Amino acid sequence: MQSLRLQSQTESIKRASAGIVNFIIEKEKSVHKDILFDIKLCVEEAVRNAIVHGNRSNVHLPVDISYDIADNKITITVEDQGNGFHLEKLPDPTQAENLYKESGRGVYLMHRLMDKVHYNTKRNRVTMEKALK
């Protein structure tokens, strides 16, 4: 299990995605670039949400990330120090009335691009899984 503790600042987003993508490339030589794209995107969306919505961009609050590969599947956990969110209250960004909205697609993309996305009870920790083959 690999882990990262990052500050709540924008630079942490790319640091997290680069660390995880490089870890995958090191461990699994032939992962398709589309799978790497999906993982990079979902890690960045999850970390951004943790920084902006969870930790309210308070640089003193950390974002904890852990990840591991087992059975050709990567599992990634992103945890912030916030009070969680109401998934069911997020508007569906694909509904006609929401298409012109400029926000609300990050969580939707995570659910569409990863194989599994689940949360702890408090919903300040998201776990995402994706097959690498």
Q: Which residues bind other proteins (CB under 8 A)?
A: 10, 13-14, 34, 37, 40-41, 44-45, 48, 93-94, 99-103, 105-106, 108-109, 112-113
43 burial (CB, 10 Å; 0-12 / 13-18 / 19+) is buried
Written as six digits, the tokens of 22 are 């490089």
Least Å from the CB of residue 45 to other proteins: 6
Least Å from the CB of residue 48 to other proteins: 6
Least Å from the CB of residue 133 to other proteins: 18
Least Å from the CB of residue 105 to other proteins: 4
11 burial (CB, 10 Å; 0-12 / 13-18 / 19+) is exposed
Nearer to other proteins, 115 or 122 (CB): 115
Nearer to other proteins, 116 or 122 (CB): 116
